[in-house]
Amino acid sequence: MGLFSLFFSKPHSAELTVTSGNGFHLRPVAKFVATAKQYQSDIQASFQGKNADAKGVNTLLSLSLEQGDTFTVRAKGKDAEEALKALSSLFHTLMQDDVEISVVEKEEMTYESKTISGEIIASGIAIGPATRYRETQSNRASTLSFEEAFEKSEAELTTLYSDNKEKSNADIYLAQKELLSSLKAEVTDLASLEKSIANASSQLMGTKLEAKIVDYKDILQRIKAHLGITSEMHFPEHPFILMADDLLPSQIETLSHTSVQAVILKETSLNSHTAILLRGAGLPSLIADYTPIEEDSRIILDAHAGLIVLEASEKELESARKRERADKEAQQSAFEKRFEAAETKTGKRIKVLANVTDPDSARTAKEEGAEGIGLLRTEFLFKKEQPSYEKQVAAYQAIFALFDEVTVRTLDVGGDKALPYITLIQEDNPFLGIRGVRLFNTHPEIIAEQLHAIFSAAQHSAVKIMFPMVSSVEEFMEAKAFAQNVAKEYEIDISNIHFGIMIEVPSVLFLLEDFNKVVDFYSIGTNDLTQYLFAIERTHATLKTNDLSPAVFDALALIVSKAEKPVSICGELAANTEAIPKLLEIGLETLSVSAKRIAETKKTIREQ
Ligand code: PEP
Ligand code: MG
């Protein structure tokens, strides 16, 4: 998780800084490329004197962008400006959403029997017979030409991506699709594809992009299957621990429907798509050299300690069985508990809501255990072109139907957030200029249409509307009056709607007594509040605020002590496991976090 840096240095060029510890890797790159391709302009990325076409995954990946690297994106063409705005905004989201893969700490454990040590992909424990991976190839005649098989594979991956968008692993399909498309120009038949992939793979060996090789193999297998060359995996009926050199990402789904208990892979890496999917499937797994393990011998795979125990004693087996049972119970309870309310040890109930951007992410939030939506960032709802009123209503209705509690933020454009169809005047300090609620004055038609759509969709729901970047009571009053006029014009009863503000501008802290008289609720946006407290732009390439500074917590404590209306927090700080104990101590009772952080946030609350 992190921030990224963007500032327009020249017309039609932007500087972006990679902030994720994973670097700018295949999945976010694929999304970036897919968006770049939607524009006609020529789009180039450059880093340390090296140029790359931003519409190809391989070219972009060849820049090897790591955390902290700042690269330049340049667009030339009719839609260059819009392309840059969309790409910059997307990059910001990609960096924020990229969950960093952390190395699992090994637990201390000693065994008397012989052990093999390995790296932990997914923790857990399993006991069973070790089984080597086996597959058989079959050939049947196919009516498809190579070109057709290629296109069918591309289409299949596109469908897999769009059908699974709500699942966290869907991006892997998009990544493979973009990888496949990038080969199109250079291959004409299966032999040239195999050669191309073999070349690319040998170049990747030993580099930090080595994990991509398995995706190449996967796309090759997909095309081969369409040409009649299929490989079938063979697994025992009884529970087993699988040993394989590597597995293809597409094989994990099949594997998880067998009696497999755990997996040992020799050649994968912790951030390969295979490893990501193994984690997702909850299969205890290790990277280890399994050569000394005899086929069918009973082993303990201790993926807490990162050990494989050969010829374990009865005592060791008994203790492993106990830990396996305890694990299953803990897993079961964590899984079941994501839908349960979060209560601290002292019995204090804390509400956990989600920050979402559209109906898809709202559905994901529901599956992840959100109790409502604490922040709907509407500027991400329609990123490419201005939506019709009808489209907006449909999107809001879809989201309102999912939860009883939804807080919609009116368009928050300006500063770090851009929309291609909203033109703002060029300013020296856009973070201190026209942004958030100030758009009510500069773009009244767009805001009026948005409010109209929200009101129409909310006719049967108790929806909360909040205005971003409010800095004075007058600003709030004007925005609320504007909204009321829209309702009046369209004769919509909005007595069910609550109006509140984001607390992002420090002036609000000193005006709370007056705000208490007019607002229905507050939501603290620590991302912006912190940047304004420290006078450090949240997207700055080198300067960083200290989000855990007493200045931040004192500001929050002041808000909670002065506010006489419900207060929630929706900035990134709400999901920070180090900050949560302090937030609860201050008295915050509603946290709004991104969908992927809900279970962990609830777990942290329960530990307080
Ligand atoms: C914030 O500023 O903390 C916030 C939640 O809003 P955004 O990150 O969308 O500006
Ligand atoms: Mg904000």
Residue closest by Cα to atom 4 of ligand 1: 525
- What digits encode the pLDDT tens for the residues 543-561? 778 889 999 999 999 999 9
Asked whether the predicted pLDDT for residue 1 surpasses 60, the reply is no
Closest ligand 1 atom number to CA of residue 571:
3
Ligand 2 centroid to Cα of residue 413, in Å, is 10
342-606: which CATH number, 3.20.20.60, 3.40.50.720, 1.10.357.10, 3.40.630.30? 3.20.20.60
The residue ranking higher by pLDDT, 23 or 433, is 433
Q: What pLDDT is attached to residue 5?
A: 39
Torsions phi, psi of 597, nearest 5?
A: -100, 0
CA 261 and chain centroid, separation: 28
CA of 468 to the centre of ligand 2 (A): 7
By the 10 Å C-beta count (0-12 exposed, 13-18 middle, 19+ buried), 173 is classed as buried
pLDDT band at 316 (very low <50, low <70, confident <90, very high): very high
Please indicate whether residue 436, judged by its CB atom, sits closer than 6 Å to ligand 1.
Answer: no
From atom 6 of ligand 1, which residue's Cα is the shortest distance away? 525
Per residue in 26-40, pLDDT tens? 889 999 999 999 999
| Residue nearest atom 3 in ligand 1 by C-alpha distance | 525
Task: Give the pLDDT band (50/70/90) at residue 253.
Answer: confident
The pLDDT of residue 8 is 42
CA distance 500 to 515: 9
**Is pLDDT at 372 greater than 70 in this prediction?**
yes
Best substitution site from 416, 504, 534 to test ligand 1's pocket, by max atoms within 8 Å of Cβ?
Answer: 504
pLDDT value of position 165: 66
Q: Which are the contacts of 111, defined by CB distance < 8 A and separation ≥ 6? A: 300, 302, 307, 309, 312, 316
- Give just the sign of the alpha carbon dihedral 509, 513, 514, 516: positive
CA distance 506 to 528: 10
The secondary element (H helix, E strand) that includes residue 75 is strand 70-76
pLDDT value, residue 556: 98
Contact criterion met (CB below 8 Å) for 312 and 300:
yes
Q: Is the pLDDT of residue 7 over 70?
A: no
279 versus 75: which is more confidently predicted? Answer: 75
CB of residue 44 inside a 6 A radius of ligand 1: no
Beginning with the edge strand found earlier in the chain, give each strand of the sheet holding 125-132 in spatial order: 115-117, 307-310, 298-302, 125-132, 240-244, 260-265, 285-287, 119-122
Average confidence (pLDDT) over 159-171: 76
Mean pLDDT along residues 149-170: 84
Using the predicted structure, report yes or no on whether residue 45 has a pLDDT greater than 70.
yes
Q: Where are the alpha helices (DSSP H) in 463-549?
A: 473-489, 512-518, 526-534
Beta strands (DSSP E) in 280-395 are: 285-287, 298-302, 307-310, 342-343, 349-356, 373-377
Mutate to test the pocket of ligand 1, among 4, 413, 470, 527 (most ligand atoms within 8 A of CB): 527
- pLDDT-derived band at 460, boundaries 50, 70, 90: confident
Q: Is the CB of 89 under 6 A from ligand 1?
A: no
Q: How far is the CA of 430 from the centre of ligand 1 (A)?
A: 16
Q: Which atom of ligand 1 is closest in space to residue 355's alpha carbon?
A: 5
Supply the pLDDT for residue 188.
Answer: 93
- Higher per-residue pLDDT: 167 or 107: 107
Domain 115-133+235-321 architecture: 3-Layer(bba) Sandwich (3.50)
Rounded distance, CA 180 to CA 147, Å? 12
Q: In Å, how far are 296, 371, 463, 479 from 496, measured between CA atoms?
A: 65, 19, 7, 17
Round the average pLDDT of the chain to a whole number and report it.
91
Look at residue 99 and tell me whether its pLDDT is greater than 90. Answer: no
Range 571-589 average pLDDT = 93
Largest interatomic CA distance in the chain? 80
273 ligand 1 Cβ < 6 A: no
Q: What is the pLDDT of residues 327-368, one digit of tens each?
A: 888 767 766 788 999 999 999 999 999 999 899 889 989 998
Mean pLDDT of 132-151: 92
Residue 85 Cβ inside 6 Å of ligand 1? The answer reads no
Strand, coil or helix: 138: strand
Residue 414 Cβ contacting ligand 1 at under 6 Å: no
**Of 325-339, 354-368, 395-409, 526-540, highest mean pLDDT:** 395-409
CATH fold label, 6-97: Histidine-containing Protein; Chain: A; (3.30.1340)
Whether the CB of 533 sits within 6 Å of ligand 1: no
User: Which ligand has the shortest distance to the CA of 523?
Assistant: 1
Neighbouring-strand partners of residue 287:
119, 265
Q: Is the pLDDT at 168 greater than 70, yes or no? A: no
Phi, psi at residue 304, to the nearest 5°?
A: -100, -40
pLDDT of 486 over the 60 cut: yes
Determine the distance separating the centroid of ligand 2 and the alpha carbon of 522, expressed in angstroms: 13
Predicted pLDDT at 20 = 80
- For 23, the 3-state DSSP assignment is coil
Confidence of residue 450 (pLDDT cuts 50, 70, 90): very high
pLDDT above 70 (res 499): yes
How far is the centre of ligand 2, averaged over its atoms, from the C-alpha of 58 (Å)? 34
pLDDT at residue 162, as a whole number: 82
Instruction: Answer whether residue 11 shows pLDDT above 70.
Output: no
Answer whether 571 contacts ligand 1 (Cβ < 6 A): yes
Ligand 1 centre to CA of 153 (Å) is 39
What is the average pLDDT across 255-276?
90
Q: Is the CB of 379 under 6 A from ligand 1?
A: no
Q: How far is the CA of 563 from the centre of ligand 1 (A)?
A: 20
Per-residue burial over 365-389, b = 16 or more CB atoms within 10 Å of its CB, e = otherwise? bbebbbbbbbbbbbbbbbbeeebee
Tell me: pLDDT of 526 over 80.
yes
Tell me, using a 6 A CB cutoff, whether residue 525 lines ligand 1: yes
Cα–Cα distance between 410 and 330 in angstroms, integer? 41
Residue 526 in contact with ligand 1 by CB distance below 6 A: yes
Other CB atoms within a 10 A radius of the CB of residue 423 amount to: 12
Give the global pTM. Answer: 0.60
C-alpha to C-alpha distances, 526 to 303, 529, 555, 596, nearest whole angstrom: 38, 5, 10, 19
Share of the chain above pLDDT 90, in %: 67
